[in-house]
């Protein structure tokens, strides 16, 4: 919790003590202390581009979405495999996707459809989607997620914004709300998680939380009082540079403004839509405003934002649920990618949409599809990558990769490349001090995308 309070008896006008303020420099914003964040900022370099830095937005479809009902429609297969949906043409000749994704179809030239991802370990977790690595034979501390790695190697792009943000809520099945673990990168590179408790609702400036951002005058009044008291106390003169900057972060409104959707054009907010904040059973919610929030955060300075969207473990009622969720996903993803292009950020921000595995070719007696780790798919956009294409294919029943099998690590090698990290050189030390490459040696970025 970030809170400018103290039990000390020597206090400023709004109740903060001198002793309490001296602790501000060690307070945690997600996991990294503010001086650590700012120290990293001083030594990091920005990537050229519209943002001045590179970023990744990862949308995790918890539970395993039905690949053969989305981007890989098997219209020539028997009905017990094909299912209820037809394919529709996109704006790219030769590419057809499910008819329930008309918005994505109309801008398919901005996407690449990867239809042949293999190597899922089969567990109901986000491990491989967040790290590229199987949890089997993980080193002490575990593999770090892409957000933790980017935080470790690149530091923050803005002194006022955490480099790694996880927007997923806390779920009944906790691994479905996983924002991405730090692994052996350590807790200083943990995600800032405003929707899981200990996040946005707990960040307070003299008692004004982010939940009260509608009261901008009170927020500014609190900040002004805090600044006035500290400046007159003489404390600033005795602080080192990074603690002075930490003070600047806590009194900056940049993070608060990134979370304030009232700053956006109402027409754009309406285009993204709201979705629903109700959790989907033991999985994430279907909040469309989180897609807009992710764009605002990377634009403000975040390097990696992860989102959990809905619950896709459909062992029954597959097509009923698809009719509910596909249009929402279509609206959120298309709005995000179009927004990124409209703002000239398409070379700086990579977007990936995927789940932990695919679903069975044969529809079960309950009208659902069961777990199928043999093959799955992903949707990828931005990052200066080549788009308007399909990579890989599956067999007639969608059960296995037919050509160009793609591994999770290949996708990660490509994502790291898109943010300017050289996978052949960059390493992170594990808990034993051993340097670890980000992907296995010999794995390269996907040539189809770069």
CATH code of residue 300: 3.40.720.10
- What is the percent of the chain with per-residue pLDDT over 90, rounded to a whole number? 71
Predicted confidence (pLDDT) at residue 374 exceeds the cutoff of 90 = yes
Same domain, 364 and 352: yes
State the average pLDDT over residues 339-367.
98
* Final residue before a domain boundary, out of 218, 236, 258: 258
* Final residue before a domain boundary, out of 258, 284, 309: 258
Note whether residue 48 is domain-resident. Answer: no
Note whether residue 25 is domain-resident. Answer: yes
Q: What is the pLDDT of residues 36-75, one digit of tens each?
A: 544 544 444 444 447 899 999 999 999 999 999 999 999 9
Q: What is the pLDDT of residues 78-96, one digit of tens each?
A: 999 999 999 999 999 999 9
For residue 230, what pLDDT is reported? 55
Same domain, 268 and 150: yes
Same domain, 202 and 252: yes
Tell me how far apart the alpha carbons of residues 133 and 206 are, in angstroms, rounded to a whole number.
42
State the average pLDDT over residues 116-124.
96
Same domain, 269 and 240: no
What's phi and psi for 10, nearest 5 deg? Answer: -95, 105
State the average pLDDT over residues 14-39.
45
Residue-wise DSSP of 262-315: GGS-HHHHHHH--EE-S--TTS--EETHHHHHHHHHHHHT-SEEEEEEEE---S
Tell me how far apart the alpha carbons of residues 253 and 247 are, in angstroms, rounded to a whole number.
12
Q: What is the 3-state secondary structure (H, E, C) of 338-404?
A: HHHHHCCCCCCEEEEEECCCEECCCCCCCECCCEECCCEEEEEEECCCCCCEEECEECCCCCCEEEC
User: H-type helices in 191-240, by residue range?
Assistant: 216-233, 235-238
What's phi and psi for 65, nearest 5 deg? Answer: -70, 155
Predicted confidence (pLDDT) at residue 217 exceeds the cutoff of 60 = no
For residue 168, what pLDDT is reported? 95
Same domain, 304 and 347: yes
For residue 205, what pLDDT is reported? 43
Written as six digits, the tokens of 204 are 């307070």
State the average pLDDT over residues 156-173.
92
Residue whose pair of structure tokens reads 């459909």 in the numeric block: 314
- Domain count within the chain: 2
State the average pLDDT over residues 304-309.
98
Same domain, 372 and 314: yes
Same domain, 164 and 83: yes
pLDDT classification of 359: cutoffs 50, 70, 90: very high
Note whether residue 12 is domain-resident. Answer: yes
* Final residue before a domain boundary, out of 258, 279, 305: 258
- Mean residue pLDDT across the chain: 85
Written as six digits, the tokens of 272 are 């993204």
More confident residue, 236 or 196: 196
Contacts of 306 (CB under 8 A, 6+ apart): 57, 58, 60, 130, 145, 147, 165, 166, 167, 168, 179, 180, 191
pLDDT classification of 188: cutoffs 50, 70, 90: confident
Same domain, 309 and 292: yes
Same domain, 182 and 206: no
Residue-wise DSSP of 394-449: E-TTSSSEEE--EEHHHHHHHHHHHTT--TTT-EEE-TTS-EEESS-TT----TTT
Written as six digits, the tokens of 152 are 């470790």
Domain coverage including residue 230: 1-30+197-258
Tell me how far apart the alpha carbons of residues 43 and 444 are, in angstroms, rounded to a whole number.
28
For residue 91, what pLDDT is reported? 98
Note whether residue 187 is domain-resident. Answer: yes
Same domain, 225 and 160: no
More confident residue, 175 or 248: 175
Q: What is the pLDDT of residues 219-266, one digit of tens each?
A: 555 555 655 665 665 555 555 544 544 454 455 678 888 989 999 999
State the average pLDDT over residues 339-362.
98
Tell me how far apart the alpha carbons of residues 366 and 348 are, in angstroms, rounded to a whole number.
44
Same domain, 307 and 232: no
Same domain, 178 and 306: yes
């Amino acid at each position: 919790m970030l809170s400018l309070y103290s039990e000390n008896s020597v206090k400023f006008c709004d109740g903060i003590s001198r002793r309490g303020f001296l602790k501000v420099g060690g307070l945690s914003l997600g996991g990294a202390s503010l001086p650590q964040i700012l120290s990293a900022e001083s030594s990091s370099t920005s990537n050229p581009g519209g943002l001045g830095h590179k970023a990744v937005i990862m949308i995790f479809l918890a539970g395993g979405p039905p690949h053969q009902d989305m981007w890989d429609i098997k219209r020539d297969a028997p009905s017990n495999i094909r299912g209820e949906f037809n394919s529709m043409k996109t704006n790219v000749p030769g590419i057809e996707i499910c008819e329930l994704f008309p918005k994505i179809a109309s801008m398919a030239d901005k996407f690449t459809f990867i239809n042949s991802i293999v190597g899922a370990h089969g567990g109901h977790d986000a491990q491989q989607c967040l790290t590229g690595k199987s949890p089997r034979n993980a080193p002490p501390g575990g593999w770090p997620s892409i957000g933790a790695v980017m935080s470790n190697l690149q530091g923050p792009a803005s002194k006022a914004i955490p480099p790694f943000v996880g927007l997923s809520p806390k779920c009944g099945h906790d691994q479905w709300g996983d924002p991405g673990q730090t692994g052996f990168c350590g807790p200083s590179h943990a995600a800032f998680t405003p929707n899981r408790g200990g996040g946005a609702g707990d960040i307070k400036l003299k008692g004004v939380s982010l939940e009260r951002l509608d009261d901008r005058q009170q927020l500014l009044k609190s900040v002004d009082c805090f600044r006035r008291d500290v400046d007159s106390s003489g404390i600033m003169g005795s602080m080192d540079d990074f603690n002075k900057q930490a003070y600047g972060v806590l009194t900056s409104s940049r993070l608060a403004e990134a979370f304030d959707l009232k700053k956006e054009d109402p027409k754009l907010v309406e285009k993204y839509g709201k979705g629903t904040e109700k959790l989907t059973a033991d999985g994430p919610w279907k909040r469309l405003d989180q897609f807009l929030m992710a764009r605002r955060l990377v634009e403000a300075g975040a390097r990696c934002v992860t989102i959990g969207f809905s619950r896709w473990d459909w062992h029954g009622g597959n097509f009923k649920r698809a009719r509910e969720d596909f249009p929402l996903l279509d609206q959120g993803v298309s709005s995000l990618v179009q927004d990124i292009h409209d703002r000239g950020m398409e070379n700086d921000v990579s977007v990936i949409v995927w789940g932990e595995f695919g679903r069975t070719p044969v529809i079960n007696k309950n009208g659902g599809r069961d777990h199928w780790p043999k093959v799955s798919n992903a949707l990828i956009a931005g990052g200066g990558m080549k788009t308007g294409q399909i990579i890989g294919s599956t067999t007639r029943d969608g059960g296995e990769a037919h050509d160009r099998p793609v591994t999770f690590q290949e996708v990660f090698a490509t994502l790291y490349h898109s943010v300017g990290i050289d996978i052949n050189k960059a390493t992170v030390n594990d808990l034993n001090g051993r340097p670890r490459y980000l992907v296995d040696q010999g794995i390269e970025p996907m040539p189809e995308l770069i």
